[in-house]
Structure 1
Amino acid sequence: MDIMLFVLITAFSFGAIVGSFLNVVILRLPNEGESIVFPASHCTSCMTNLRWYENIPILSFLALRGRCSHCREKISFQYPVVEMSMALLSTATVYQFGLSIATIGYFIFSAALLVIIWIDIYHQIIPDLISLPGIVLGFLFSLVSPVLSWQDSLIGILTGGGILYIIAFLYFLWRRVDGMGGGDIKLLAMIGAFLGWQSLPFVIFASSLTGTVVGLGAMIKQKKGAQTRIPFGPFLSVAALTYLFFQQEIILLYELYVNMAY
């Protein structure tokens, strides 16, 4: 077997295993005081502990046909989706950066963003336990990273957090309501820490555009007089992951646009 293929298969398998753990984090972290280690994995309906062969990432869900083998309740599709997502992110990271310190840093970054996406969708919060250590870790990563300088990381932290803070402050002055949570501000600072300040224009533009499209769609579908609050964290996270893996293509498109405009 080709060595690179073996490495990618290993990365996929390891990512799926980590994704299984991330499901536990997504489920338990928002609940204050609940451990992400104990108790062991169990069915959330009947609370029966899972056997080892019922806890194999992706495969167990398929073998069980999406139902608990004990109580026959449906298993949330979140579990295989998160496992598959982390497996693909792990594979893409290794493919993009090879076996390097950059791969380790961006593997952790991708895992953090994946957790943030799901927690923000379910609870509309971005835990400080992820974003604040993520800011520090992103800057420390820049000190040893072959693809990111500490200066770009530091400017990314200050600019990322500062831009959204100013936007949130101006929106509050205009509408007298909070239009953006503090979690989004810390998240963008974390993104700036890992990707540098150069990523921020794309991340802000892409997340705002997709967020607006989804928001307009939700407004059209919602009942008259109802209010729909759409979390912004998932859009920021997806935009950051897009920039991470398609940075060169994004830069080429920007340069092509500039050349065509002038």
Structure 2
Amino acid sequence: MMIALYALLGLIVGAFLNLCADQLPRWRRLRRTPFCPHCEEPRPWWAWLSLLAFLRRKPRCPHCGTPISWRHPLVELGTAALFAFVWLYDGPTALLIPHTVYVAIFVLVVVIDLEHRLILNVVMFPAWLIALLFSFMHPRPQFYRLAILGGVVGFGLLFFIYWMGELFIKVLSRMRGKPINAVAFGFGDVRLGGFIGLILGFPDVFTAILLAILLGGLAGLLYWFVRAVILRNYSLFSAIPYGPFLVLGAMAVMFGVI
């Protein structure tokens, strides 16, 4: 019974995350209800949950006819499934609420990064504060010390990768004799690394970042193979969002997968 209720909570939170993902990248103030991104008219109440709109076979804006993006019901279902997993993993323990909040933040980060190649300060700065506050309530004695150290290490490691990427682009630009308008590694990923360090603590942040690097490398090779070998349409500086791999690494460690 409780797992079903927690999944329902995840469905509702997923709808809110969709609302945030629609508006925050455009620097808009959050509206209270979902709206059509095309005509900006509010959705009818029965379409506040996009999943209900699809189940009613009315996945379009009633005002302008624009289809509701498939991303909306997928995020709702995905968040519901993740919330159910959190309940199964933690149950009614002290880590249930922190893990639930972290999962919601991770979903929002992944959605925005995939769609806009952005990890927003308006998401990460409050996330840092939330993680720091939860570290003082962690059942592990004095975990806040490990959390702060983990945050510094996570931020520092990814800042080093960011700096090396910037240096690589500058050197390559000089060798080619013209500027390269590409970002090797975004600073939003650095802030995400700090957040991951705060929630996992030291030394677990090392494992999460190493796993993220491995997953990102494998995905990059697969992307290159598909674009260069199969489609024969590959650009050397094709951008791949790195946030999802950092999130996968963090969640694998957080839930004891590795």
User: What TM-score, normalized by structure 1, do the two folds share?
Assistant: 0.84
Pair 1:151–1:218, CA change in 2 (3 A): same
2:35 corresponds to which of 10, 30, 42: 42
Pair 1:35–1:242, CA change in 2 (3 A): same
Aligned positions, number:
241
CA-to-aligned-CA distance 1:38-83 (integer Å, 9 cap, x gap): 5x32222344422211223523322225434454432211101111
2:186 corresponds to which of 155, 172, 181: 181
Q: For 1:225 and 1:214, how far apart are their aligned partners in 2?
A: 16
- The yes-or-no answer on 1:197 pairing with 2:202 is yes
- The yes-or-no answer on 1:209 pairing with 2:209 is no
1:3 aligned residue: none
2:3 aligned residue: 8
Q: Which amino acid in the other structure matches residue 181 of structure 1?
A: G
Q: Secondary structure at the match of 2:25?
A: coil
2:162 aligned residue: 168
| Contact persistence 1:219–1:228 (CA under 8 A) | no
Q: For 1:73 and 1:168, how far apart are their aligned partners in 2?
A: 39
Shift of 1:225: 4.5
- The yes-or-no answer on 1:59 pairing with 2:52 is yes
| Contact persistence 1:17–1:57 (CA under 8 A) | no
| Contact persistence 2:11–2:80 (CA under 8 A) | yes
Q: For 2:137 and 2:40, how far apart are their aligned partners in 1?
A: 44
1:31 aligned residue: 26
1:21 aligned residue: 16
Q: Which amino acid in the other structure matches residue 17 of structure 1?
A: I
| Contact persistence 2:43–2:61 (CA under 8 A) | no
User: What TM-score, normalized by structure 2, do the two folds share?
Assistant: 0.85
Shift of 1:147: 4.6
Unaligned runs of 5+ in 1: 1-5, 251-262
Q: Secondary structure at the match of 2:203?
A: helix
2:139 aligned residue: 146
- The yes-or-no answer on 1:93 pairing with 2:93 is no
User: How many percent identity over aligned positions?
Assistant: 28
1:110 aligned residue: 103
Q: Which region of structure 1 is more displaced relative to structure 2, 156-165 or 72-81?
A: 72-81
Q: For 2:24 and 2:36, how far apart are their aligned partners in 1?
A: 17
Q: For 2:254 and 2:223, how far apart are their aligned partners in 1?
A: 28
